[in-house]
Amino acid sequence: MNLKYTLSALAIAASLSACGGDDGSNGTSATLLQLKVAGTYTPPGNPANFFDESAAEIVAYDARQHRLFVVNANDITVDVLDMSDPSMPSLMSTIDATAEGGVANSVAVSSKLVAVAIEANTKTDPGKVVFYNSTSFAKVGEATVGALPDMLAFTPDGNKVLVANEGEPNDDYSVDPEGSVSIIDITDGVDNLTVNTASFTSFNTQKTSLISSGVRIFGPGASVAQDLEPEYIAISEDGSTAWASLQENNAIAIIDIDNATVDSIVPLGFKDHRIFGNELDASNRDDRINIRNWPVFGMYQPDTIASYSFNGETYIVTANEGDARDYDTWSEEIRVKDMVLTDDIGAAGIQADEDLGRLNVTSTLGVSNGCDPSLLTTDPEVDCEYDALYAYGARSFSIRAADGTLVFDSGNDFERITAARNGEFFNSNNDENDFDSRSDDKGPEPEGLALGNINGQTFAFIGLERVGGIMVYNISNPQAPQFVQYINNRDFSGDPSLGTSGDLAPEGLTFVGAKQSPSGKPLLIVGNEVSGTTTVYEIDVIEL
């Protein structure tokens, strides 16, 4: 049986009707969406050769030529797909970037240019952005940027490219480059480009105050600039401001694009899983779905972020994936059962495997006795006591004001909805079909995100990296988003390693409006990292 899960349009209508029907934006009637698979591109050859090899990560669409650019990270190539028929995306060419560096991390397209972010062979060295002609695929220029360029995006006018230089340390943490955001100005063409860097060095003297405000700065011996690791970038509609997610740091940087400066670093706070509506399943050893309140705080730690406008104000949407630092010589990860807890958080009653014992949390927060948790890696006998628990990610998506203030969070929706639709494989991993294997570690793990405007209303599409599938919400009113659909193009009766399980690990999402679509219908295109497939969803629009 092919287990593909979707919420029907009638169920959506009933859901919206129960919520009052209207999306709250400008008095317009609600728009329903129904995603359905139009077509899938699978790389040629034996699926075992590209299973879990990052063969399809980030996707970028060229509306001018109806072409799709798909990053094959480990092969250091970009596949170019013909999208003239969305039901049959086909390979037309491949951009070979193997001579440019170690890994291709991201791709973006604007006008006649394709930009590819490529990390150096030694990832702690400066990386580069390489530009290609979007028609001939010939290399036309390059720019040196910071260490580990992880994501890039063109400004709306196409005159600048912003690059998130993550600056991760090497495996033994002996080299820790600074994170930064490079701003490449191509106004006068790639032959005359300039590169400016929005650096965090000016914040080095503010380390204590940043930590006190809630920004996580915790790498061994790291300065602020070394510790901050930009992950993803959202750009304002006027191209003047950018927001960069600092995932491990549980923060967002606000950047002045014209001046190439970081204006502020904003802590994102913590999600209280003790509160009704914020429940989670915390154990992979309890043989059941157990979504309930626990004395745990979630670090939002967004990966993908995006921006949109409502009533003249800009809002930031975040996919709250979560991420831990876990290196050969130093790790922050610890399970609750291995911690010494104070009595006031119920230490005696929550550390069994079937309770909170298996949950992975950080050792760097919640210390109550003044010990140095960084010593735990080398000396397990260090006597650290904890009075609070902080887990990775928030298992949700959020909407924030431009200054970082939380406006909305989806609470326990993702686990609750996937449990209802797909209970047999609840919180499954993305490389094997199992039950409840990810409850102790970030759950469904929302990672990818795209926004789309349809009939004047804004929709968020969120990819769940582990169990799979796409969550769809109408976010036209940022204070009152409405769930629309969950669809999972995964076949749990198949074998992931043999390529018979459909889509695994949605990574990069891009929305294509009806006017830019070859079919005249809106599309959502998803690159699936583990299966290596690229899937095109056609979006049917239903007016209520």
Inter-residue contact 283 to 290 (CB < 8 Å): yes
Angle at 60 between CA 407 and CA 102, to 5 degrees: 105
64-67 contacts, C-beta under 8 A, 24 or more apart: 64/111, 64/112, 64/134, 65/134, 65/135, 66/518, 67/92, 67/134
Q: Which of 170, 63, 78 is nearest to 110 (CA)?
A: 63
| CA–CA separation, 295 and 12 (whole Å) | 33
Per-residue pLDDT of the chain (544 residues; tens, 9 = 90+): 233 333 433 343 334 333 333 333 333 456 789 999 999 999 998 888 889 999 999 999 999 999 999 999 989 999 999 999 999 999 999 999 999 999 999 999 998 999 999 999 999 999 999 999 999 999 999 999 999 999 999 999 999 999 999 999 999 999 999 999 999 999 999 999 999 999 999 999 999 999 999 999 999 999 999 999 999 999 999 999 999 999 999 999 999 999 999 999 999 999 999 999 999 999 999 999 999 999 999 999 999 999 999 999 999 999 999 999 999 999 999 999 999 999 888 766 799 999 999 999 999 999 999 998 988 877 777 889 999 999 999 999 999 999 999 999 999 999 999 999 999 999 999 999 999 999 999 999 999 999 999 999 999 999 999 999 999 999 999 999 999 999 999 999 999 999 999 999 999 999 999 999 999 999 999 999 999 999 999 999 987 6
| CA–CA separation, 56 and 75 (whole Å) | 10
Inter-residue contact 201 to 219 (CB < 8 Å): no
Inter-residue contact 481 to 399 (CB < 8 Å): yes
| 194-199 sheet: strands from edge to edge | 149-154, 160-165, 180-185, 194-199
| CA–CA separation, 47 and 199 (whole Å) | 42
Reading the block at residue 462, the tokens are: 């969120």
The 3-state secondary structure of 73-118 reads CCCCEEEEEECCCCCCCEEEEEEECCCCCCEEEEEEEECCEEEEEE
pLDDT tens, position by position, 367-404: 999 998 988 877 777 889 999 999 999 999 999 999 99
What pTM does this model have? 0.94
Task: Give the type of residue at 26.
Answer: N
DSSP 8-state class, residue 419 = H
Distances (CA, A) of 35 to 116, 144, 215: 29, 40, 38
| CA–CA separation, 226 and 128 (whole Å) | 19
270-275 contacts, C-beta under 8 A, 24 or more apart: 270/214, 270/297, 270/298, 270/299, 270/300, 270/390, 271/297, 271/298, 271/299, 271/300, 271/320, 271/394, 271/396, 271/409, 272/297, 273/297, 273/298, 273/391
| CA–CA separation, 517 and 63 (whole Å) | 7
Give, for 420, the enclosing helix (H) or strand (E): helix 413-421
- Find residue 292's DSSP bridge partners: 280
Reading the block at residue 501, the tokens are: 């399980």
Longest dimension (CA), the chain: 66
Task: Give the type of residue at 498.
Answer: L
At 487 the three-state DSSP class reads strand
| CA–CA separation, 218 and 237 (whole Å) | 34
Q: Please give the domain boundaries of the chain with CATH numbers for all domains.
A: 9-323+393-543 (2.130.10.10)
pLDDT tens, position by position, 330-365: 999 999 999 999 988 876 679 999 999 999 999 999
Distances (CA, A) of 365 to 275, 370, 371, 384, 461: 20, 11, 11, 11, 32
H-state helical runs in 267-412 = 347-350
Task: Give the type of residue at 450.
Answer: A
CA-based torsion, 401, 406, 412, 415: positive or negative: positive
314 half-sphere exposure, CB direction, 13 A CA radius: 18
Q: From the centroid of its chain, how far is CA 37?
A: 22
Reading the block at residue 433, the tokens are: 């079909």
The pLDDT, as a whole number, for residue 347 is: 67
H-state helical runs in 23-68 = 47-50
